[in-house]
Structure 1
Amino acid sequence: MNAAAQFVSVSQVFGEVTAVDDIDLSIPSGKLTTLLGPSGCGKTTSLRMLAGYTRPTSGRILIDGVDATTTPPEKRGLGMVFQSYALFPHMTVADNVGYGLKLRGVSKADRAARVAESLELVGLEHLASRRPRALSGGQQQRVALARAVAVRPKLLLLDEPLSNLDARLRVQMRAEIRRIQAETGLTVVLVTHDQDEALEMSDEMVLMRAGRIMQQGAPSEVFGAPADRFVADFLGYENFVRTPAGLVTVRPEHVSVVAGAVERGEGLAVEGTVTDVAYRGVDLLITVAARDAEGETRLLSDIRSDGAPHVSPGDRVTVTAPASRLVALAD
């Protein structure tokens, strides 16, 4: 795997706070890598160190195999899109997109050609003469992307770029960013706290917690085999049961609820009491209070409404799941 960028034993300490704790990370060339995790996990600090806005306290950052740890941002050949888009309100869309090219001394003719090419890529060539205030949030997002792509960066860095959009636009822009990455072959690093965003968009997913990398791999690998309880919980497994053999987890959509007791098989079978039934149209969420080998636990089942059992709060039930759906977790 060719690495477009590498973190080698990188740490970042702010006073008494360790934001990034001795990480080693390779960013694969020509792929979309997401840095995923809760607020304060170190993902944005890592992106800022890669961009050159923050210098590591220790360790090295390589870009295309060259040590860029002390290289200023403007010399790294990167493109970046921020949460706020940071468009210049007094400039037209075309001038915004061409701004980075102008700073780099690109000729007027070449600049015009690359601006047109970049706007066509994001489907906004018809809005080249507009000002940012006349654009929707999604269109401003596209302009910021076009500006970053226009400089033909070695890496395109995206810092929570979809967080200011409504839910419908976020879904649309996920597909747009993937399309642009695929058409251009750019190496993209995207920071997000949204697991659905990371799963849908990533070639490589890096899940962080408290400045450390907890798990890294293709989305299907990480989702299918979470390394520990934190990873499983963050990815929405929700059900955790202590068995005599150890800790296991299972996703709500793989859990069934059966009225009364059932014969125990190889899979999961835990008796409990229904505490809540929430109808959501196509599906039904059933919450069950139960006991496992450690004590009290809460189990959640997400069942299609048309096949759901008729249960109510207070009913005694058995929560079941096939052995093939159980994931054993490291303690």
Structure 2
Amino acid sequence: MNAAQFENVTQVFGDFTAVDGIDMAIPAGKLTTLLGPSGCGKTTSLRMLAGYTRPTAGRILIDGVDVTRTAPEKRGLGMVFQSYALFPHMTVADNVAYGLKLRRTPRAERDARVAEALELVGLAHLAGRKPKALSGGQQQRVALARAIAIRPKLLLLDEPLSNLDARLRVQMRSEIRRIQAETGLTVVLVTHDQDEALEMSDEMILMRAGKIMQQGAPAEVFGSPKNRFVADFLGYENFVRTAGGLVTVRPEHVEIVPGTVSPAGGLALPAIVTDVAYRGVDQIITVVSRDDGGEITLMSDVRADAAPRVAVGDDVVVTAPESRLISIEN
């Protein structure tokens, strides 16, 4: 069952097409990420779902109902922005209660929902504090609690972790995932970070230039990228043109063999080492080789304690088993 659906949705700003005729399904009770580089259309898609931007063409449905022309406040959605947008003069509890007051929720129920939401994000003990007295991670949790308190049909998160430091981002990934699992909320999260999407998603939607490149479960998309853009965005690095077409292979599945003798089966290309980078646990070896299209650069990422003894300028063979080669579209 889908909580939301885009049907041939297009969004044009002047001469720029931000979203180009996409069909997209958001499964109910799951965490779906809209992933892609800047300008790919993911935030515009989220804003159209929220109702802040009306599509140039197409329909948007929530719970099977056409909401294309429905005002944002009537869609029953919660949203957390990149900036959190907390009211500095209000306490944490009053910030969380704000949406409930707008909906004229009775006082007793409002207080109960605020307490429940703050307990869920682990901030019940800070209900009386002002936002300026909180850390960035705590402010983000308050924004989450405020969105959750209204019990939305969908919870929309627009790059919610981008203002946090690396340690807090990792922590909040787990927190958001826990909250989604405990509440059963349908969550749509916009991010440009593939690691974030892979770790948090039930469903990933990878976009480029206003179009959907691939949609599916993280393991499905990561394990079977459809085209070069998806593979490159997800870190495959190595692309080789063969008689059968274009294939890709991840650096950790590439082995560098010293010398010039090619093993039988799979990928086997003569190459010259151009760089050896030791990173403690692993070692990255970069080589230059040739395929059916000309000169190419390939990378191997292996555990340092098992890495071959090679140096810049050495003749080597790049190998990978047939089972690790993935055929893709250009």
Look up the match of 1:278.
277
1: CA distance, partners of 2:270 / 2:144: 52
1: CA distance, partners of 2:234 / 2:60: 29
Measured after TM superposition, the shift of residue 263 of structure 1 is: 2.9
Structure 1 residue 204 and structure 2 residue 192: aligned?
A: no
1: CA distance, partners of 2:145 / 2:264: 56
Look up the match of 1:180.
179
C-alpha deviations, 1:210-262, integer Å up to 9, x for none?
00001001111111100000000000000001111111100011111111123
Structure 1 residue 326 and structure 2 residue 325: aligned?
A: yes
Q: Which residue type is aligned with residue 212 of structure 1?
A: K
Look up the match of 1:11.
10
Look up the match of 1:64.
63
Measured after TM superposition, the shift of residue 140 of structure 1 is: 0.6
2: CA distance, partners of 1:140 / 1:240: 43
2: CA distance, partners of 1:263 / 1:240: 19
1: CA distance, partners of 2:97 / 2:216: 36
2: CA distance, partners of 1:312 / 1:135: 51
2: CA distance, partners of 1:66 / 1:286: 54
SS at match of 1:74: helix
SS at match of 1:318: strand
Asked whether the equivalents of residues 6 and 61 of structure 2 are also in contact (C-alpha less than 8 Å), the reply is yes
Measured after TM superposition, the shift of residue 330 of structure 1 is: 1.9
Structure 1 residue 195 and structure 2 residue 179: aligned?
A: no
Map 1:30-41 to 2 at 5 A. Answer: 30-41=29-40
Look up the match of 1:262.
261
Look up the match of 1:146.
145
Map 1:206-221 to 2 at 5 A. Answer: 206-221=205-220
Q: Which residue type is aligned with residue 244 of structure 1?
A: A
2: CA distance, partners of 1:204 / 1:280: 32
Look up the match of 1:84.
83
2: CA distance, partners of 1:255 / 1:122: 43
C-alpha deviations, 1:56-100, integer Å up to 9, x for none?
000010011111001111000000001000111111000001100
Measured after TM superposition, the shift of residue 274 of structure 1 is: 0.8
1: CA distance, partners of 2:187 / 2:193: 17
Deviates more, 1:220-229 or 1:255-264: 255-264
In the alignment, structure 2 segments of 5+ residues that lack a partner are none
2: CA distance, partners of 1:252 / 1:17: 36
Map 1:94-243 to 2 at 5 A. Answer: 94-243=93-242
In the alignment, structure 1 segments of 5+ residues that lack a partner are none
Aligned residue-pair number: 330
Look up the match of 1:295.
294
SS at match of 1:83: coil
Look up the match of 1:29.
28
2: CA distance, partners of 1:152 / 1:144: 14
SS at match of 2:40: coil
SS at match of 1:6: strand
Asked whether the equivalents of residues 262 and 317 of structure 2 are also in contact (C-alpha less than 8 Å), the reply is no
SS at match of 1:176: helix
SS at match of 1:222: helix
Q: Which residue type is aligned with residue 28 of structure 2?
A: S
Q: Which residue type is aligned with residue 72 of structure 1?
A: A
1: CA distance, partners of 2:247 / 2:146: 47
How many percent identity over aligned positions? 78
2: CA distance, partners of 1:134 / 1:81: 20
Q: Which residue type is aligned with residue 263 of structure 1?
A: S
Q: Which residue type is aligned with residue 191 of structure 1?
A: V
2: CA distance, partners of 1:321 / 1:146: 48
Measured after TM superposition, the shift of residue 316 of structure 1 is: 1.0
Measured after TM superposition, the shift of residue 270 of structure 1 is: 1.2
Measured after TM superposition, the shift of residue 264 of structure 1 is: 3.7
2: CA distance, partners of 1:290 / 1:162: 40
2: CA distance, partners of 1:74 / 1:102: 13
Look up the match of 1:253.
252
